[in-house]
Amino acid sequence: MNSLWKKTPQLDHINQISKRTASENMGIQFTEIGPDFLRATMPVDHRTVQPAGLLHGGASVLLAETLGSVASLFCREDESTLPVGVEINANHLRPARNGLVTGIVSPLHIGRSIHVWEIRITNSSGQLCCISRLTVTLVRQVAANPSS
């Protein structure tokens, strides 16, 4: 079976690099790696709901961008580049009020400098809550200039 990944992702490593980030603050946990997808969960709780008690659309978008950006880390041709989201859209289809939501990211296009991802977010019953598309560009890392 062919794999999308240029560098094999490991769950422990992904969850470790997510420490002290927005992902950790929102309770996002990566739970599964497949040959062409990543899966993560996010709780529907005080960190992720809007005042009416429904999953906040912005929290869904944060989960989607997290999944796509992390996936891009592991399928880039050149490790001197960093994935940066440049466009995201999301259609919020069904509310979630409790439990966990699960996001699965899969590629629509993987190029040398542009990746396009589809992220499907489902509720605890497996119903589609949000579908998102993320475009990531890979930018060269620039060394910090100590004289700046």
The set of catalytic residues is 65
Burial class (CB in 10 A: 0-12, 13-18, 19+), 80: exposed
Alpha carbon 146 to chain centroid, angstroms: 33
Cα 95 from Cα 98, distance rounded (Å): 10
Spatial separation of the C-alpha atoms in residues 8 and 26, rounded to whole Å: 25
Residues 6+ apart with CB under 8 A from 118: 105, 106, 107, 108, 131, 132, 133
Angle at 62 between CA 58 and CA 64, to 5 degrees: 115
